[in-house]
Structure 1
Amino acid sequence: MTNILPGLPLIESPLFPALKAEWGLNAEEDRIATDLYEKGYAVFDFPDADLDGRIDRIQQHLGPRYGIDFADPHSNKTHGERRVQDAWQFDEDVRAIAANQAVIDLLSKLYGRRAFPFQTLNFPVGTQQDAHSDSVHFSSLPERFMCGVWLAMEDIGPDAGPLFYYPGSHKWPIMTNALIGRRGYGSDLASAQDPYGPAWQALREVYGVQEECFLPRKGQALIWCANLLHGGSYQNDNRLTRWSQVTHYYFDDCIYYTPAFSDEVLGKLHLRDLISIGDGKRRPNSYLGEELKFDDNELYKSKKLSIWKILKENIKNHK
């Protein structure tokens, strides 16, 4: 069957049941694809023969940055920094996990566009973060061409503040400022997800969905779709660690932006200027194969542009 909806990821397309038969998926890929389509997440064993060594080196290298006494089993592990962002820039093992070729190939096959990693987050403990969708932080045009991969760097039990999620919530409406009656362009927020909290809570109540926790063993990973509602559980035992790495991926030939600080209906987007972790090369904002060209002005430097002005200029220049 011809994919007549290329503006949707394959695993989120309403044509998924018909398209899947022609992908040439093996049994494991079929399981992962079906879980993503139906539940919005999928669990798999991370494909890296040196993973244990990488985890040990990452813990040794990043450990001092958190200000936590890891040597004392009775110390409070939640008193300190909870994350190091973009450690791939100085830690080769973090970069290698993010740029794992087998994972990139899998995501590319499942989404129908080439994946590239653009951000890493490394955690020694749980986030205890409220339920949220990554779509308000990272989104794309076309929508949904973003996903996260969460890797367990140790066995994680229920008292360590495990990751939780709401199965099927990836199919709910994507939160935008227009949807909740808010202007986002040029705004200033302490937390980009705060304005959408009441709407997510209302959806949870209406759908009656129950959260599920991810209790993985070391080396298991979880892929989640861009709009899956997820967060970090309360940590019952503050002596425990919860080492993990999150890598966020975008896909080629999209416009990349931050919805929390954008007004799509007005054509005002907080655009992202991205580098692929895999090859260190820039991934330009593009639409249907054409890179968007920007004027060298202050609006561009702040990454806050009217996308419609850009498209108009591209059309004029193309003619």
Structure 2
Amino acid sequence: MNDTPLPGIPLIESPLFAQEVEGLGLTAGERRIAEDLHTRGFAVLDFPDTEIDARIARIQADLGPRYAGMELSDPDSDKTQGERRIQDAWTFHDDVRAIAANPAILDLLGTLYGRPAFPFQTLNFPVGTQQGAHSDAVHFSSLPERFMCGVWLAMEDITPENGPVFYLPGSHRWPIMTNAMIARRGFGTIPESAQAPYERAWDALAKADGLRPEPFLARKGQALIWSANLLHGGSLQTDPRRTRWSQVTHYYFEDCIYYTPAYSDEAVGRLHLREPVGIHDGVIRTSTYLGEMVKMPRRRKGLRRLIGKLGQALAS
């Protein structure tokens, strides 16, 4: 960790950012990324990989046939029909893994957050998600807070017609949304949507702050780093014949408690803990607090039965 009075806050989120950024030894480009993340909650950069075009071509060729119900080779077909994502393709595709584990990205994130980063999840899309505004922090969060981020890579040029990513600049500064804030119990529940319970609160905060969505019209090979709590989503795809190839990688940071807030009640110590695997090294990360391991709690019998019923329903 860097020598800071507040090691439990990511450097780019810290109220001491203005003083501490001076001692990081950043290049001009890195300094711009750090300042954008601090002030706006996201930063744009050219993905640092000389082989990125070749990797993108192989990913499109290899993953294309795996999207069930989607005719990607037909220029006139509706690309928004069928399977829209493949999760954790890094487990079988070398290029997906290489993008997620890019050493320059890991080094940059480690510097900007003040502790080593590790990638733990990939999502590959042939089209836009058209997903409503949400914060990743309800899906994957950490204690201390905010030691999580996402990197979105454009695998083709993005236009207003093919459903660009959008974000609400400055929303990363809001409090991390928890079930206690919306008077809801989360531990032991499996809702249809992990983010739907929080949408009313997010909408109210955006209205109060006067924040409006801004689209990211990226060039092929550009990447977007966003902070854990930045509100973002996918714009409406107005031309269903278009593709919008992209890869998202989610990153955690070392020596944290990793959990899912949507299924947790922090105030009474009921956390839905996660055991993420580092994509770059294959090592399972057990939650730790100041170096001390945090044990996974036993799941209640009722929850096991509920999970079993859900599995049976999905298999039928």
Task: Give the match for residue 207 of structure 1.
Answer: 209
Equivalent of 2:124 in 108, 112, 122: 122
Return 5+ residue gaps in structure 2 as ranges: 305-316
Equivalent of 1:83 in 85, 90, 96: 85
**Which amino acid letter does the alignment assign opposite residue 281 of structure 1?**
V
Contact 2:273 2:296 survives alignment (8 Å): no
Task: Give the match for residue 63 of structure 2.
Answer: 62
**Which amino acid letter does the alignment assign opposite residue 162 of structure 2?**
A
Q: CA–CA distance in 1 between the matches of 2:4 and 2:110?
A: 15
Q: CA–CA distance in 1 between the matches of 2:65 and 2:133?
A: 29
Cα deviation code 1:97-131 (max 9, x no counterpart): 00001100000000001000000000000000000
Q: CA–CA distance in 1 between the matches of 2:24 and 2:103?
A: 19
Superposition map of 1:170-209 within 5 A: 170-209=172-211
**Which amino acid letter does the alignment assign opposite residue 222 of structure 1?**
L
Structure 1 length-normalised TM: 0.92
Contact 2:124 2:246 survives alignment (8 Å): yes
Task: Give the match for residue 315 of structure 1.
Answer: none
Two-structure CA RMSD over aligned residues (Å): 1.5
Shift of 1:293: 4.0
Superposition map of 1:1-319 within 5 A: 2-67=3-68, 68-294=70-296, 297-298=298-299
**Which amino acid letter does the alignment assign opposite residue 8 of structure 1?**
I
Q: CA–CA distance in 1 between the matches of 2:291 and 2:12?
A: 22
**Runs of 4+ deviating beyond 4 Å:** 297-300
User: Percent of counterpart pairs with the same letter?
Assistant: 65
**Which amino acid letter does the alignment assign opposite residue 72 of structure 2?**
F
Cα deviation code 1:175-213 (max 9, x no counterpart): 100000000000121110000000000011111111110
Q: From the superposition, tell whether residues 60 and 2 of structure 1 become closer, same or farther in structure 2 (CA, over 3 Å).
A: closer
Q: CA–CA distance in 2 between the matches of 1:299 and 1:272?
A: 16
**Which amino acid letter does the alignment assign opposite residue 208 of structure 2?**
V
Return 5+ residue gaps in structure 1 as ranges: 304-319
SS, match of residue 150 in structure 2: strand
Q: CA–CA distance in 2 between the matches of 1:157 and 1:169?
A: 24
SS, match of residue 33 in structure 1: helix
Shift of 1:299: 5.5
**Which amino acid letter does the alignment assign opposite residue 271 of structure 2?**
L
Contact 2:138 2:195 survives alignment (8 Å): yes
Q: CA–CA distance in 1 between the matches of 2:131 and 2:256?
A: 29
Q: CA–CA distance in 2 between the matches of 1:212 and 1:299?
A: 43
SS, match of residue 197 in structure 1: helix
Shift of 1:69: 1.2
Q: CA–CA distance in 2 between the matches of 1:33 and 1:91?
A: 31
Shift of 1:292: 2.3
**Which amino acid letter does the alignment assign opposite residue 57 of structure 1?**
R
Q: From the superposition, tell whether residues 58 and 200 of structure 1 become closer, same or farther in structure 2 (CA, over 3 Å).
A: same
